[in-house]
Structure 1
């Protein structure tokens, strides 16, 4: 029973997340404290969920892409484009607080995100370009498109309905958490309650065999890239609305790398095949909690990324079953050399 528990993909990510939370609690005893102000909850845990919402969204989409054996390096650029389009549309309106204007801007942003995801999917599935190259094209060009949209400037808006997306509250919790929950629920229902999840895992395990078995592998691949683009677009809306501005240069910067790390930490293999949506969410929470911890401890800004990389490497090594077995064998040889020698002679 204990062995099965340790081998479960969620075991080590949850242990790491719990360890980070316990460390924060020991460092700052009021870390778990929750305060109610104006009917809304505030606290470090709420901040982790709120600020980690965009990364969780991007990571959910990245999970399905990686499950097919692909990769999407353009999600950060899509995040920037999405926020730029919505803020530009709102800034051009006569009344920025108009609800129809905000709805139109949000729909335009999401539609463009779907088109960008469709572009990536078409390059991979129809043009048969390697996923890392196909999405690298939009990663580079997309950042330039975002800066063209914003004119190289930071577009600021003053719209209460738009700010509600990333900074509003519902039932005393940040509204962004409910957006993540809705997207996660939709992804779970589509992949675990229908045959789509099996198709994705089949394509990721062996795309050629899936085609020979009659599965429309290209359609499946196209679908996951479209979904990944949509998730990145929604994340862009949350990011830009949270600060009521759009920065084409820095918005979503390096999000693709954090999303890939979250997926890997969550137990999904980069080789494709089986995937774990909840593991990905835990992985994203680990990254956001780690970021919060680094800032709280006061790590100098110039080495923040180095500390983050070292911790993520340690997490990946701990999660690796092969690495744990190697350590166990070496520990046993060092502590029981006579037993090992006797076993070798007997065999």
Structure 2
């Protein structure tokens, strides 16, 4: 039992279960999933759909943090990706042309990869601190997205493009399938090959990895490129879901939620060992918390404070030092009673 409690995913899973059960008191049908017109519907499905962009961004952030880095530009990359795709589609003669939509998606992802290469270049090749290097693109990226959209919200009416974020396949949201496939491939690459171990060594002990002959710059570069790709796909899902691109608001502050999801999942910000499953679970917990806030009816003015209190409680529950201190105080109280 102790081994289960000490597992890094135990407390996030407990928090998720508590939130889900708590919602049933305010909405008895909250956990109900129905099949209508060949599609699954329900609050649980809505949570998974809304969590897909954050889950992808958190996935890329996990690998970056594992190298002892950080990427503050993921929200801007999301905005650029969505803006690029929507601009291309809006200028098509037939917005429902599958070939044109595929070209738009390819261009958006290619640009996302280039932005990831840029971040990797600044951090791995130039040696700029990750927080500063990615802060540059975080600020400049919003400007680039605004230039692409002309400072306006680009609206598209493309059925093939809308499938990415709002479509269904085999009764399951396409966005959920995309994330599941992407996470599975990433998990295989980092857990069934030496890549994950090399990334952890670079972040956990840079000096030892260098002395062992590991080319740290190469894996740091790969991490930022991967984060750029994840953010690019998240941007496509987000813009597809609303059939528009907003260079100013798309992906705004998602980098903070992504970092929080990674921490909730048990990955240390100091680098080294990381958990993909933990980060995905963290993203689902955050989105479940967001939906809980609306379900419970927390006033808008208190939303951020309520969210912060829940997150603090979860982080304290995860902390071995806090639990040990709490256990000692409880034991002392029982001894004096």
Same-fold call, TM > 0.5? Answer: yes
- Are 1:152 and 2:151 matched, yes or no? yes
Q: Which residue pairs with 2:334 in the alignment?
A: 335
Shift of 1:39: 1.0
Q: In the TM superposition, what is the alpha-carbon distance from 1:208 to its structure 2 partner?
A: 2.1
Q: Deviations over 1:266-299 (max 9, x none)?
A: 0000111111111111100000000000011111
Q: Which residue of 1 aligns with 2:314?
A: 315
Q: Does 1:84 align with 2:83?
A: yes
- Superposition pairs of residues 219-298 of structure 1, within 5 angstroms: 219-298=218-297
Unaligned runs of 5+ in 1: 339-347
Hey, what does 1:140 align to over in structure 2? 139
Secondary structure of 2:126's counterpart equals coil
**Pairwise CA distance, 1:27:** 2.3
Matched position secondary structure for 2:71: coil
Q: Secondary structure at the match of 2:235?
A: helix
Q: How far 1:119 sits from its partner (Å)?
A: 0.6
**Paired residue secondary structure (1:126):** helix
| Within-5 A mapping of 1:43-192 | 43-192=42-191
User: By how many angstroms is 1:304 displaced?
Assistant: 1.1
Structure 1 runs, 4 residues or longer, greater than 3 Å off: none
Deviations for 1:108-144, whole angstroms, at most 9, x for unmatched residues? Answer: 0000000001111111111111111111111111111
Distance 1:93 1:131 in 2: 38
| Larger CA deviation: 302-311 vs 169-178 | 302-311
Aligned to 1:344: none
Q: Does 1:34 align with 2:33?
A: yes
Instruction: Tell me the CA shift for residue 243 of structure 1.
Output: 0.6
Number of equivalent positions: 337
**SS where residue 60 of structure 2 aligns?**
helix
Q: Does 1:211 align with 2:210?
A: yes
Residue 342 of structure 1 aligns with which residue?
A: none
CA distance in 2, matches of 1:324, 1:310: 18
TM-score by length of 2: 0.98
What's the offset of the Cα at 1:79?
Answer: 0.6
Question: How far 1:4 moved relative to its partner?
Answer: 1.0
- Secondary structure in 1 matching 2:312: helix
Q: 1:332 Cα deviation (Å)?
A: 2.2
Give 1:205 deviation, angstroms.
0.6
Residue 3 of structure 1 deviates from its aligned partner by: 1.2
Q: CA deviation at 1:337?
A: 3.5
Q: CA deviation at 1:26?
A: 2.4
Partner of residue 341, structure 1:
none
Tell me by how many angstroms 1:35 deviates.
2.1
Alpha-carbon distance in structure 1 between the residues aligned to 2:299 and 2:24: 21
Q: What is aligned with 2:302? A: 303
2:272 aligned counterpart, secondary structure: coil
